[in-house]
Every structure is written in structure tokens, then in C-alpha cells.
């Protein structure tokens, strides 16, 4: 990088170059005498801030040089000032149509040339500063988005663990009861028939099998997957309910499913499950916040469409427009989960919408093909 701004001078006249070199000596100057060299330097040298270009050049005139510079993404932003002995209106118009930012008739007034060069270099400096700021903001937004995704994953993991805890609560109580009953019988020297003992073992095995199935469903849900396959929306919803039913039962939330699905769809079942999980958890959070009476969720499934309704009172008007934006609440879940749901749906060429009914919120997902 140069401390001074750089000017590329393109002129086939050594006398003209010497005059410009003397007049603009406070800048970093790069003189060339033909168009091909000028284009090559402008393309490779990142520090060119301005080009002074003579219209009358051998082999390739200034207009063609400028057009080629403006067609190249690497040089399109470099301002070009034409210098020419021609002063016809048609020549000036041709220069601006080629992409020039200014046109100075030769012989020129030195003060006028210096003034115009200074103005365009200032504009270029402002433009480059703006480009740097935009790049910085884009990078900051990328980092922010990555942080949001990480927070969302952590929140989802915490909620899944909570659901597993509720799901295991009753089975663990049952196992404890079986063990305590057998212990009491043995300690009291009460006779335990082989049949009763086998029944208690069988009951314990059934409970443990149920807990293992819950963990397998949990692992299948949380394990990242990019595999596409045929699956039924209804089965994915039932898998999610297997994880969350303990918590929803504990919170007295009833869930009803109506399915008219006839054919499987092809796509990423894992990502679809995450979307459904986020929507259902959002409804549960709303029920708890508003202490809803007789909370209910109704799920309607048709081919390529699923609608989830709750009776939690709906989404506030001021929040409806921004419901899928990444906002965090105290437990880092509400808002982030719906943001992630929208990202996953749109990533897979789907559309998710949120509206209000008389009783509560309505989330609808529609897609033609669920693709990764």
C-alpha cells in the first residue's frame, strides 16, 4: 500500500506525460504509453485510485481502453478522466458513454486540472472507505449469524434434555417402585414366586426398552444430517412427539393430529424435525408465559403442507412482522428457534408463514420439494 494516492497516466506523448508528472508530483504516478499495458497494470495493481487517459492512442483509442476497464470487475470502480485535444460535444458524450467521470480539453488549465483531479481522488477515497466499512459490516454480520446459530443449537440441546428428563421421570419412578417392592419382600423374608419375579423383570425390561427408544429418537433428532430420503411428514411429527410428550403432559398441553398425507416426500427429515420441534416449543413457551387455560395444539397434515395451530392468544401485532428475526429472551430460546426454523425451511426451498386465528397463532409450512 502507498501512503499517497496513485494515478495511472495513459498517454502516447512523452511530452504530455512529463507535464503531468511535474504537475501531479505530490501523488504516486504510474505512466504508460499504450492501452494494453494500462489495462494490465490497472487489473493487477490494487492501489490505482484514478486514471488520466488520452483519447487519441495508437492501436486502441482511449474510449476502447475505458470500455474494457469498465467491463472488468477489478477495474470498474476506478474513475477515468479523459484528456483530449478534441472538444466536440460528440466526443465528450462518447467519453461519458464509455464510462468516464470527467473530460478535460487539452491544452488544459493547470489549476483546473489539479482541482478536478483532487475532487475525483477525494470521491474515490470516500468510496473506498465506504467499501471497507461495508466489508467490515458483512463480516460482523457473518460472525453474528454464526453466534446466533451456536446459541440456537445450545438452546435446542437444553430443551431436548429437559424433554428427556420429563419423558424419563415416570419410567424411573416405576423402576424405583419395582426395585423397592422386591427389596421389601426379600428383607421381610416374604416369599417371592418365580412368576412374580419374572413379571417384575419383564416390566423393568419394558421400561428400559422404552427409555432406550426415547434416547434413539433423541440421537436421531440431534445428530446433524445432510442425507435426503423419502419420509412421511406424519412420522416425523410423531417422532418429535415421542421426545416432547412427557413435558407437554406435565404442562397439561394437549396435542391433536389430523393427517391426510398419502405419499412420502423426498428431503431432509432431520431438518424438517428441527423445524417442527422449534414451532411446538414456541407454543409451549407462550402457554407458560400467558398461563393459558386448557392449552391445545392442533396439527393438520396434507401432502406437501403442514399447519400447526395453538390457542395461546396469538402473536402480538408488533411482533408478527418480526417473528422470524433472531431475537433472544432470557433463556436464549424463543425467537432464535423460529429464526433457525425459517433458515432451514428457506434453505430447502420451502415457505414458512405465521398468522393469527381467533384463538392463537398459526404456523404453516408449504413446499414442492424438500431439497438439501
Residue entry with cell 499517497: 4
pTM: 0.49
- Beta-carbon contacts of 240 under 8 Å, excluding residues fewer than 6 positions away, are 221, 273, 276, 277, 280
How far apart are alpha carbons 188 and 184 in whole angstroms? 6
Strand 296-302 and strand 305-310: the pairing is: antiparallel
pLDDT score, position 328: 47
pLDDT score, position 124: 87
* Contact assessment for residue 30 and residue 10, using Cβ atoms and an 8 Å cutoff: no
HSE-up of residue 313 (Cα within 13 Å, Cβ side): 12
CATH number for domain 162-367, candidates 3.30.9.10, 3.40.1390.10, 3.30.565.10, 3.40.50.1970: 3.30.565.10
Dig out the grid coordinates for 240 from the structure.
Answer: 418429535
Phi then psi for residue 32, to 5 deg, are -140, 160
Query: CA geometry: angle at 325 spanning 320 and 327, to 5°?
Result: 105
Phi then psi for residue 123, to 5 deg, are -60, -40
Question: DSSP letter string over 21-41?
Answer: HHHTTTSEEEEESSHHHHHHH
Q: What is the mean pLDDT of each run of 10 residues along the chain (372 residues)?
A: 80 90 91 91 87 89 92 91 86 90 88 91 86 76 62 61 66 74 73 75 78 69 69 87 78 92 83 85 88 94 92 85 66 58 81 92 81 46
For 166-173, the CB contacts below 8 A with 24+ separation are 166/246, 166/247, 166/249, 166/250, 167/214, 167/243, 167/244, 167/245, 167/246, 167/247, 168/211, 168/214, 168/246, 169/246, 169/250, 170/246, 171/207, 171/210, 171/211
User: What does the CA dihedral 283, 227, 220, 262 come to, rounded to 10 degrees?
Assistant: 60
Dig out the grid coordinates for 265 from the structure.
Answer: 416426500
- Beta-carbon contacts of 153 under 8 Å, excluding residues fewer than 6 positions away, are none
**Which of 68, 121, 54 has its CA nearest to residue 99?**
68
Dig out the grid coordinates for 48 from the structure.
Answer: 490505482
Domain ranges of the chain: 6-108, 162-367
- CA distances (Å), 320 to each of 208, 353, 357, 366, in order? 43, 10, 12, 19
pLDDT score, position 371: 46
Can you list the positions of beta strands (E) in the chain?
Answer: 6-10, 28-32, 48-54, 80-84, 102-105, 229-231, 254-259, 265-267, 296-302, 305-310, 350-356, 361-367
Do 6-108 and 162-367 come out as alike in CATH topology? no
pLDDT score, position 70: 92
- Beta-carbon contacts of 332 under 8 Å, excluding residues fewer than 6 positions away, are 151, 154, 155
- What would the CATH number be for the domain defined by 6-108? 3.40.50.2300
pLDDT score, position 144: 63
pLDDT score, position 330: 42
- Beta-carbon contacts of 207 under 8 Å, excluding residues fewer than 6 positions away, are 171, 174, 175
pLDDT score, position 222: 60
* Contact assessment for residue 366 and residue 351, using Cβ atoms and an 8 Å cutoff: yes
pLDDT score, position 189: 66
Question: DSSP letter string over 214-241?
Answer: HHHHHHHHHS-----EEE-HHHHHHHHH
Amino acid at each position: 500500500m502507498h501512503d499517497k494516492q496513485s494515478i495511472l497516466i495513459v498517454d502516447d506523448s512523452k511530452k504530455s506525460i512529463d507535464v503531468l508528472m511535474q504537475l501531479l508530483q505530490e501523488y504516486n504516478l504510474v505512466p504508460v504509453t499504450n492501452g494494453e499495458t494500462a489495462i494490465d497494470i490497472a487489473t493487477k495493481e490494487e492501489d490505482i485510485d484514478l486514471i488520466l487517459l488520452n483519447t487519441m492512442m495508437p492501436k486502441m483509442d482511449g474510449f476502447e481502453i475505458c470500455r474494457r476497464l469498465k467491463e472488468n470487475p477489478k477495474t470498474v470502480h476506478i474513475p477515468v478522466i479523459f484528456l483530449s485535444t478534441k472538444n466536440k460535444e460528440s466526443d465528450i458524450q462518447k467519453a461519458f458513454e464509455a464510462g468516464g467521470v470527467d473530460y478535460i480539453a487539452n491544452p488544459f488549465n493547470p489549476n483546473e486540472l489539479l482541482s478536478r483531479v483532487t475532487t475525483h481522488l477525494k470521491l474515490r477515497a470516500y468510496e473506498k472507505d465506504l467499501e471497507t466499512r461495508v466489508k467490515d459490516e458483512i463480516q460482523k454480520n457473518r460472525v453474528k449469524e454464526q453466534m446466533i446459530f451456536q446459541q440456537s443449537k445450545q438452546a435446542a440441546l437444553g430443551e431436548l434434555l429437559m424433554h428427556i428428563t420429563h419423558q424419563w421421570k415416570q419410567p424411573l419412578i416405576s423402576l424405583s417402585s419395582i426395585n423397592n417392592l422386591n427389596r421389601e419382600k426379600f428383607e421381610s423374608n416374604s416369599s417371592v414366586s418365580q412368576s412374580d419375579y419374572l413379571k417384575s423383570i419383564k416390566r423393568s425390561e419394558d421400561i428400559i426398552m422404552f427409555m432406550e427408544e426415547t434416547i434413539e429418537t433423541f440421537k436421531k433428532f440431534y445428530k446433524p444430517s445432510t442425507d435426503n430420503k423419502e419420509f412421511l411428514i406424519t412420522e416425523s411429527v410423531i417422532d418429535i412427539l415421542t421426545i416432547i410428550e412427557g413435558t407437554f403432559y406435565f404442562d397439561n398441553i394437549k396435542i391433536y393430529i389430523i393427517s391426510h398425507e398419502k405419499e412420502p416426500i423426498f428431503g431432509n427429515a432431520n431438518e424438517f424435525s428441527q423445524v417442527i420441534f422449534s414451532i411446538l416449543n414456541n407454543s409451549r413457551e407462550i402457554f407458560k408465559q400467558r398461563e393459558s387455560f386448557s392449552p391445545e395444539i392442533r396439527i393438520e397434515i396434507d401432502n406437501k403442507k403442514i399447519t400447526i395451530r395453538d390457542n395461546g392468544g396469538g402473536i402480538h401485532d408488533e411482533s408478527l412482522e418480526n417473528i422470524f428475526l433472531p431475537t433472544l429472551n432470557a433463556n436464549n430460546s424463543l425467537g432464535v428457534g423460529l429464526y433457525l426454523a425459517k433458515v432451514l425451511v428457506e434453505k430447502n426451498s420451502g415457505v414458512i408463514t405465521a398468522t393469527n386465528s381467533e384463538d392463537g397463532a398459526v404456523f404453516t409450512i408449504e413446499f414442492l420439494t424438500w431439497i438439501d
